[in-house]
């Protein structure tokens, strides 16, 4: 045992119904959960990113908007800013772009997942939650291809099941779980050492 964590980051994608899903997920995390969470929630381009305030009020992790060139830190959750794609560079720092929409969305889950997969490879956990389109399915497939762990919310527990169903069709899923069991798995993964 080296004492190093097996995983170094968790990326999460959600769309319609995502606020409630993320609240449930956060409430299930252990206090002291250390893996950085990097989140794309489809939101209106002119949103004030209210999600940050709501999730911060749960007092599980520090929640903030991702900043350009920032490197994810343990115990912090990062939310993609409204109307910006959030990318992860090879050195794990963030880049924000206003490139064209992907899957009709900016921020796009696929953009985050695909770049994070390249940066973290087998040390990445990817999670698809509730949503009304197929964004994230290509990115989740890429995470799996590069050795990461992929988790999908059971469509039967999703407020809107299109995104989880698209993800299941796109790749072999490691864990298909009801929403309230995803945090339990993350807590176990966070404790795993190499």
Tell whether 167 is covered by a domain.
Answer: yes
What would the pLDDT profile of 34-63 be if each residue is shown by its tens digit?
Answer: 999 999 999 877 777 788 989 998 888 899
Instruction: Identify the pLDDT of residue 2.
Output: 47
Count of structural domains within the chain: 1
Distance CA 69, CA 97 (A): 12
Tell whether 4 is covered by a domain.
Answer: no
Say if residue 69 is exposed, middle or buried (CB neighbours under 10 Å; 0-12, 13-18, 19+): exposed
* Residues of the domain holding 54: 9-191
Tell whether 2 is covered by a domain.
Answer: no
What would the pLDDT profile of 96-110 be if each residue is shown by its tens digit?
Answer: 999 998 888 899 999
Tell whether 74 is covered by a domain.
Answer: yes
Tell whether 1 is covered by a domain.
Answer: no
**Is the Cβ–Cβ distance between 190 and 34 less than 8 Å?**
yes
Helix (H, G, I), strand (E, B) or coil at 157: helix
Please list the active-site residues: 15, 42, 135
Q: Compute the average pLDDT of residues 76-92.
A: 96
What would the pLDDT profile of 61-72 be if each residue is shown by its tens digit?
Answer: 899 999 999 999
Alpha-carbon distances of 35 from 60, 99, 105, rounded to whole Å: 12, 28, 26
Alpha-carbon distances of 39 from 43, 58, 109, 156, 193, rounded to whole Å: 12, 16, 8, 22, 24
Mean pLDDT of the chain: 93
């Amino acid at each position: 045992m080296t004492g190093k964590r097996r995983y170094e980051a968790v990326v999460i994608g959600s769309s319609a119904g995502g606020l409630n899903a993320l609240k449930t997920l956060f409430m299930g995390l252990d206090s002291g959960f250390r893996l950085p969470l990097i989140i794309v929630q489809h939101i209106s381009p002119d949103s004030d990113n209210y999600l940050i305030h709501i999730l911060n009020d749960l007092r599980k992790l520090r929640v903030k908007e991702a900043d350009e060139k920032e490197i994810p830190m343990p115990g912090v959750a990062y939310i993609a800013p409204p109307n910006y794609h959030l990318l992860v560079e090879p050195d794990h720092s963030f880049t924000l772009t206003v490139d064209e929409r992907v899957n009709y969305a900016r921020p796009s889950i696929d953009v985050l997942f695909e770049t994070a997969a390249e940066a973290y490879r087998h040390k990445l956990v990817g999670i698809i939650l509730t949503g009304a389109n197929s964004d994230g399915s290509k990115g989740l497939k890429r995470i799996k291809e590069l050795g990461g762990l992929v988790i999908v919310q059971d469509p039967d527990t999703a407020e809107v099941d299109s995104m989880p169903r698209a993800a299941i069709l796109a790749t072999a899923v490691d864990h298909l779980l009801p929403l309230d069991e995803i945090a339990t798995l993350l807590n176990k993964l966070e404790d795993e050492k190499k």
